[in-house]
Structure 1
Amino acid sequence: MRLNDPTAYRLDREPEVLAGLLDPAGQEVLELGCGAAWMTRLLVERFGAARVVATEVDRAQLARNRALDLPPTIELREGGAEAIADPDGRYAQVFMFKSLHHVPPALMTRALHEIHRVLAPGGALYVSEPVYWGPFAELTGLIHDERAERAAAFAALEGAVEAGLFDCEHEVFYQAEGSYPDWAHFAARFIDVSHRAEPLPEARRAEIRAAFERHLTPSGAHFLKPHRVDLLRKPG
């Protein structure tokens, strides 16, 4: 397993990466840390999952998700990955789309043990994580430097494989295109979010804005956002 490999990236999108690795069709699956429920919806509408249980710790985001017109086969639930309210072996597949590094580092190992517990023997764990590398990481690092958290998430995955909880089947590095027409759109997506405990100081906000605007072109600011996907499988 590799934290990063600058030689291995391909241009791609999360749904296409997932389609090349795993088939959720007809399965009952668990998504931990569903965010705005974009991939949650796709798991049902594009990939044909029979049922998706999607958890989220951000209560404000969870409330917004509950106001969406989501398919009835999606169950939204408050909760974190370190304490999953399900019996042993319930799920065929578990998904974490850019959410493992948001688990407190002291709880990451417990979370992976919980995932192992609720996966059926032979079940798959799909984990995608942003990689701290390149101009986009440098920009968002001014908002919140997640280098340590992302490294801790990778170390926890590596430790779970070394402990025999999972086998590592595939590791994929891809870059997704991200475009933001102006500062207001970027700030709404990454700064003015419900999970932020308090507003950024104005001086820091101005610094981030200046850094963002250095990337602006007449058509907006365009980035390549690096990610790593690990497909792990519970033995058995």
Structure 2
Amino acid sequence: MTEMQLKSPTAYKDASEIEIMQDVLPFEGADVLELGCGRARWTRTIAERFPVKSVTATEVDKVQHEKNLQITDLPKVKFVYGGAEDIHLDDESVDIVIMLKSLHHVPMDKMNQSLAEIHRVLRPGGLAYISEPVYAGAFNDILRLFNDEKTVREAAFNALQKAVEAGRFKLEQEIFFQSKSKFGSFAEFEERFLFPSHSDHAIDDALHNKVKAAVDPHLGPDGARFTNPHRVDLLRKI
């Protein structure tokens, strides 16, 4: 088995998340579980682009979940409220589990239980696609001014290692890639990152000004664009 690594020792492949998923996941006829679907952007892409049988999309943020329930044009998708540590699905009921930048948002004392739950609901030989941001890059430097995720990201990686070492999963691939992100204005950045409905970052005036000063040099007529490194651990249920 290839040794798992928190960061890439070499270059990062230029690719989008959806391109990586398309390359490695057998979507045809699959029952898919997406844990931590957020605004359901990727949920929609998966349901509309790939020949899946079904998508169950969970979200622990009650405000966002209520918004997702208003989506009526995705007949293959069922939105469910709840966290990864307590998945309301039957044993061996899904073929693919997807977590897109969400494992590190699980409380650290519940990460191991979340991976146990993923193992429980996967069918034998099923795949878990766990994508996590790598702690590096200009955008990360801005985020850590008000939400430093170094500790939780390392904890998420350690939980994945532990699940593999315990024999629950086999590491099929570890993929390092970098993708583009953008936002159109500082107001959009505020809405998405400074003041999300799921978190209170305790932003006072001084911190707000510090963050704005860090963002402003990256803003142009078309907003701000960043290149962000990621790691995917593709695990197969044993």
Q: TM-score range by the shorter chain?
A: over 0.9
CA distance in 2, matches of 1:130, 1:47: 24
> Quick check: 2:14–2:179 contact (8 Å CA) kept in 1?
yes
Cα displacement string for residues 2-27 of structure 1 (whole angstroms, at most 9, x for unaligned residues): 10015230111110010111121211
The equivalent position to 2:188 in structure 1, one of 180, 185, 195, is 185
Cα displacement string for residues 192-222 of structure 1 (whole angstroms, at most 9, x for unaligned residues): 2111236511111110000011222344322
The equivalent position to 1:37 in structure 2, one of 26, 37, 40, is 40
Residue in structure 1 matched with residue 211 of structure 2 by the alignment: 208
- Please state if 1:137 is matched with 2:140: yes
- Please state if 1:147 is matched with 2:170: no
Residue in structure 1 matched with residue 110 of structure 2 by the alignment: 107
Q: State the secondary structure of the residue aligned to 2:86.
A: coil
Residue in structure 2 matched with residue 57 of structure 1 by the alignment: 60
> Quick check: 1:44–1:71 contact (8 Å CA) kept in 2?
yes
Residue in structure 1 matched with residue 81 of structure 2 by the alignment: 78
The equivalent position to 2:120 in structure 1, one of 107, 117, 122, is 117
CA distance in 1, matches of 2:73, 2:145: 34
Residue in structure 2 matched with residue 160 of structure 1 by the alignment: 163
CA distance in 1, matches of 2:201, 2:163: 34
Q: Which amino acid counterpart does residue 118 of structure 1 have in structure 2?
A: V
Residue in structure 1 matched with residue 93 of structure 2 by the alignment: 90
Q: State the secondary structure of the residue aligned to 2:198.
A: coil
Q: Which amino acid counterpart does residue 42 of structure 1 have in structure 2?
A: T
Q: How many residues align?
A: 235
In structure 2, relative to structure 1, the CA distance for the partners of 1:98 and 1:52 (3 Å cut) is same
In structure 2, relative to structure 1, the CA distance for the partners of 1:191 and 1:158 (3 Å cut) is same
Q: State the secondary structure of the residue aligned to 2:142.
A: helix
Q: Which amino acid counterpart does residue 150 of structure 1 have in structure 2?
A: R
CA distance in 2, matches of 1:219, 1:6: 33
> Quick check: 1:29–1:94 contact (8 Å CA) kept in 2?
yes
Normalised by the length of structure 1, the TM-score is 0.95
Q: Sequence identity, in percent?
A: 46
Structure 1: give runs of 5+ residues left out of the alignment.
none
The equivalent position to 2:11 in structure 1, one of 8, 17, 40, is 8
Question: What are the residue-to-residue correspondences of 1:215-226 with 2, within 5 Å?
Answer: 215-226=218-229
Moved over 4 A (4+): none
Q: Which amino acid counterpart does residue 153 of structure 2 have in structure 1?
A: R
The equivalent position to 1:27 in structure 2, one of 21, 26, 30, is 30
> Quick check: 1:41–1:70 contact (8 Å CA) kept in 2?
no
In structure 2, relative to structure 1, the CA distance for the partners of 1:228 and 1:70 (3 Å cut) is farther
Normalised by the length of structure 2, the TM-score is 0.95
CA distance in 1, matches of 2:199, 2:117: 27
CA distance in 2, matches of 1:6, 1:193: 33
Q: Which amino acid counterpart does residue 153 of structure 1 have in structure 2?
A: A
Deviation at 1:182, TM superposition (A): 2.2
CA distance in 2, matches of 1:38, 1:201: 30
